[in-house]
Structure 1
Amino acid sequence: MKVRKENVKSVACRMPMVFAGIVLSASTVEARVVLPHVLSDGMVLQQQTDVRLRGKATPGCKVEVTGSWDGAKAVSEVANDSLWCVTVSTPKAGGPYEIVISDGDGVPAVIGDVLIGEVWFCAGQSNMEMPMRGFDRQPLRGTNDIIARSRESTKIRVFTPDSKKGQWVRSSAKTPQRDVAGEWWSNTPDNVANTSAVAYLFGKYLNEVLDVPVGLIVSTLGGSRIEPWMSREAMDKFARYGYEHLDEGVKDNPWNDPCLLFNAKVAPFTDFPVKGFLWYQGESNRHNADDYDSLMASMVCDWRARWGGGEEMPFYFVEIAPFRYEGNDGTSAARLREAQANALKKIPNSGIASTLDAGNYNFIHPVDKFTPAERLAWMALTDTYGLTGFGSHSPQYESMEIKDGKIYINVKNAPNGLCPMWTSLSGFEIAGDDRRFYPAFAEIEERSCRLAVSSDMVKEPVAVRYCYRNVPEMSVYNVAGLPLLPFRTDDWD
């Protein structure tokens, strides 16, 4: 926890204080008020909301919290378990401010350089984790220039429990934690270089368009499945995945085992108000794709309940990008993308950023992180912040009609039609009752603007698939340049 020197001078308390892994004792640092790491210098608080500030102090004393934006005081009596919690109301975006926390005896704690703005929680596996500098031997395109131009005066702050001075920090826990080590990073080149590229580029876009401070809380673990990011309560309906690893003395696997990452890297933040969630994960769940949409819906419902925001809290996520996996023509990634698209129907106030045109069959970590970040930002700007005049959602399959040996496809999220016109389109397959798929001829009809799909090999078609491959040959966009999401009209194994 970053603490100003005046916060830790000698006070009356001499008993050791423990706060979920933080130990402050008289032999090291004498402290009266103990705060979780996320409540520290440089933090960003969500604007115009009620914010819960919590910590530890001596049982029986009264903790008084004052924010410099209005001078109002919030008071809490410390319980027998040493815990206290107060609620303060934040103003419109601005800052920097100070928050003074006093127990009425001794030098108060002061949290400085506090900004008020928009805060987003960002989580997932390696494509969310990948920093602006890239991974070793795996670069990112265009980020070096942004790193070099980064200025500390730009009001973007990032809190990450994953990285310290460029070195990865891995954490997991068998029970939900109240704190996790980390610090708020300012917008310097060294800090930006080690920040999640997707999260940072999203935050940068919002900062420039909304002209408000942006805070990003980033929790990631490369190679992790979705189950570790879910709480015990969210996983209970999927009990077949088991909880043996939560027993003491049992070796755990934070990449696969349910709850371990939620406990360590999500639970500590649920008292910290955020505007919404960003999620980039799924590659590691290709082999249980049939469960993925239900798993994600349960996770989102649980996260929203814990943050106390309900369905109005937006959840935007990234479609997994093309990669060869078991082969270009394999379908494990296609099944996961299908589950991601199905999740849109189960998760209110959600959106998916397509990456069909931003992947590479040789690299599971695409060099282009601008595309998914921009598409996430467009959804947030329209659906969360109410801006209009530009597209934000990819077209998506809605229905089909069979007529005269062709299958006509209707889509949503294409108010001005699909493109390109006047050309044949790739990535389509068509099948008859024999369930054998053939490459199809597809075009956008000039009059109806519907997709028309056919093949000389299939006289009586019954089903169409589009981009149903690990590495598909995509071709269709809406007028805003957003790719048509992959789909199939059948449900055949």
Structure 2
Amino acid sequence: MTVAHNVALTEQKSMQANWQTSLPDSAVAFSFAYYLQQRADVPVGIILSAWGSSSIEAWMPRDLTKELAYFNTIMQEFDADADRIAKINRILSGPLPWTRIDDVYLRRQPNILFNAMMNPLVPYTVRGLVWYQGERNTQSMHGLVKDPWYKNNSGMLKYKDALQAWIKRYRQQWDNSDMHFMLVMLPRFNALLNTSPTKEARHPNAHSWAWMREAQLAAQSMKNVAVINTIDLGHPTNIHPLDKLPIGQRLANAAARNTLHQTVEAQGPVLAKAVISGSNVRLFFEHVEGLRTVNSKAPAEFWLANDSQKWVKDDAKIRQNTVLLSSPSLQNPLYVRYAFSGFPQVNLINAAGLPAQPFRTDHFEP
């Protein structure tokens, strides 16, 4: 069922949508449903409620203003903007289809997509929700950009709290504290913000999508939340990469593991601990069986630093399902970052062919 694009200034109880057996417009939704049906051996129904380039704030109920101060600021500014509200009403009362300019204008507003495209679905019985979003919130680090207005959102550093508050609020909306959420991590993309302290795209200090991925991965601390790792996918310059099929496959495997309780490896290596010994750092992982690289070369995209916060590339080796790091140019390494850039050239996988999850062990502020 594909929910028609629409907005509303107040929460709605109905929407325009019909169940059908034709293919959806989303390759991720289709491949997820297809592979999950193979694993479950039962019919799978997918409700597709999505609108490209929308922010997470567009899908927030208004009462999240009580919990998220920055969202309260956004909604206060929205309510005070009579011209903006008048334009929204003018578009909604005008002819269809909307012009592309009007379509983009509507999708970039806060709250009103939730009102029209999500609230009517509640409390429809669903096992979980797949959330593939984040690009619109990568336009700044700290958010609340004043000009242009449509960049006024969480930014990458506030997204962590925004996403977790949003998940909790949706569970309340559905009256289901066990509702499963599967978040698709943003894949590789080579963009840097103008605020970046370095223009070296693969440097771990750059203001890249790495910070958004960290915000997404933090939600794994919540019950029944999984993050689908896409750090080996994507395109350096195309924000709409074509490699969607692996995302659907990984989503289906995660759903089979988490909701159908099937035995399937649905996750790549995840850092368990880092042990420092002199000039070496040894990394231990979970989901590590068959640790190897896809090209039989040394593990790539590991960086080391000490308290100077100067990051250097390391020499990495696989040793008995661990990764051993060292760098001849760094004394007393303390911290590690892995795949912490917009478009890292990763090659570390497990026996299931799934990529290692990006991480950093430091707590330096960007």
TM-score, normalized by the shorter chain, greater than 0.5? yes
Of 240, 248, 251, the residue aligned with 2:84 is: 251
For the pair 1:463 / 2:329, whether they are aligned, the reply is no
Q: How does 1:296-445 map to 2 (within 5 A)?
A: 296-310=163-177, 312-326=178-192, 328-329=201-202, 330-345=206-221, 347-388=222-263, 390-414=264-288, 416-420=289-293, 423-445=297-319
Query: 1:319 touches 1:355 (CA, 8 Å); kept in 2?
Result: yes
**Shift of residue 368 of structure 1?**
1.1
Q: For residues 396-420 of structure 1, what are the alpha-carbon distances to aligned partners after superposition, in whole Å with 9 as ceiling and x for unaligned? A: 2232111031111222232x25223
**Shift of residue 271 of structure 1?**
2.5
Aligned position for 1:3:
none
Report the secondary structure of 1:216's partner residue. Answer: coil
AA of the residue aligned to 1:284: R
Query: 1:331 touches 1:468 (CA, 8 Å); kept in 2?
Result: no
Aligned position for 1:171:
6
For the pair 1:293 / 2:147, whether they are aligned, the reply is no
Please tell me whether Structure 1 or Structure 2 has the larger radius of gyration of its CA atoms.
1
**Shift of residue 305 of structure 1?**
1.5
Counterpart CA distance in 1 for 2:50 and 2:357 is 26
Which structure has more strand as a fraction of its residues? Answer: 1
Query: 1:465 touches 1:488 (CA, 8 Å); kept in 2?
Result: yes
Q: For residues 213-253 of structure 1, what are the alpha-carbon distances to aligned partners after superposition, in whole Å with 9 as ceiling and x for unaligned? A: 21111111111111111112234211333213246945155
**Shift of residue 376 of structure 1?**
0.6
Counterpart CA distance in 1 for 2:227 and 2:50 is 19
Q: For residues 252-286 of structure 1, what are the alpha-carbon distances to aligned partners after superposition, in whole Å with 9 as ceiling and x for unaligned? A: 55444432211111100002111110010111112
Counterpart CA distance in 2 for 1:212 and 1:349 is 22
- Identity, % of aligned positions: 30
Aligned position for 2:38:
208
Query: 1:174 touches 1:263 (CA, 8 Å); kept in 2?
Result: yes
Alpha-carbon spacing, 1:235–1:398, altered in 2? closer, same or farther (3 Å): farther
**Shift of residue 423 of structure 1?**
4.4
Counterpart CA distance in 1 for 2:80 and 2:39 is 48
Q: For residues 16-73 of structure 1, what are the alpha-carbon distances to aligned partners after superposition, in whole Å with 9 as ceiling and x for unaligned? A: xxxxxxxxxxxxxxxxxxxxxxxxxxxxxxxxxxxxxxxxxxxxxxxxxxxxxxxxxx
Q: For residues 146-172 of structure 1, what are the alpha-carbon distances to aligned partners after superposition, in whole Å with 9 as ceiling and x for unaligned? A: xxxxxxxxxxxxx1123xxxxxxx311
Counterpart CA distance in 2 for 1:430 and 1:302 is 38
Query: 1:205 touches 1:377 (CA, 8 Å); kept in 2?
Result: yes
Alpha-carbon spacing, 1:211–1:336, altered in 2? closer, same or farther (3 Å): same
Aligned position for 2:355:
483
**Shift of residue 339 of structure 1?**
0.8
Alpha-carbon spacing, 1:396–1:251, altered in 2? closer, same or farther (3 Å): same
Which structure has more helix as a fraction of its residues? Answer: 2
AA of the residue aligned to 1:432: N
Counterpart CA distance in 1 for 2:170 and 2:48 is 15
Q: For residues 52-102 of structure 1, what are the alpha-carbon distances to aligned partners after superposition, in whole Å with 9 as ceiling and x for unaligned? A: xxxxxxxxxxxxxxxxxxxxxxxxxxxxxxxxxxxxxxxxxxxxxxxxxxx
Alpha-carbon spacing, 1:223–1:275, altered in 2? closer, same or farther (3 Å): same
Q: How does 1:31-42 map to 2 (within 5 A)?
A: none
Between the two structures, name the one with larger relative contact order (CA 8 Å, sep ≥ 6): 2
Aligned position for 2:93:
none
Q: For residues 410-467 of structure 1, what are the alpha-carbon distances to aligned partners after superposition, in whole Å with 9 as ceiling and x for unaligned? A: 22232x2522397421111111222111111111113xx2211110000211111111
Q: For residues 324-377 of structure 1, what are the alpha-carbon distances to aligned partners after superposition, in whole Å with 9 as ceiling and x for unaligned? A: 1127334320000111111111x2111111111121102111111111111010
Counterpart CA distance in 1 for 2:232 and 2:312 is 23
| TM-score, with length taken from structure 2 | 0.82
Cα-Cα RMSD:
1.9
Counterpart CA distance in 2 for 1:309 and 1:217 is 18
AA of the residue aligned to 2:3: P
**Shift of residue 485 of structure 1?**
1.1
AA of the residue aligned to 1:285: N
| TM-score, with length taken from structure 1 | 0.61
Aligned position for 2:2:
160
Aligned position for 2:95:
none
Counterpart CA distance in 2 for 1:198 and 1:302 is 25
Q: Which ranges of structure 1 fall in alignment gaps of 5 or more residues?
A: 1-158, 163-169
**Shift of residue 179 of structure 1?**
1.0
Aligned position for 2:28:
198
Alpha-carbon spacing, 1:424–1:365, altered in 2? closer, same or farther (3 Å): same
AA of the residue aligned to 1:233: D
Aligned length: 317
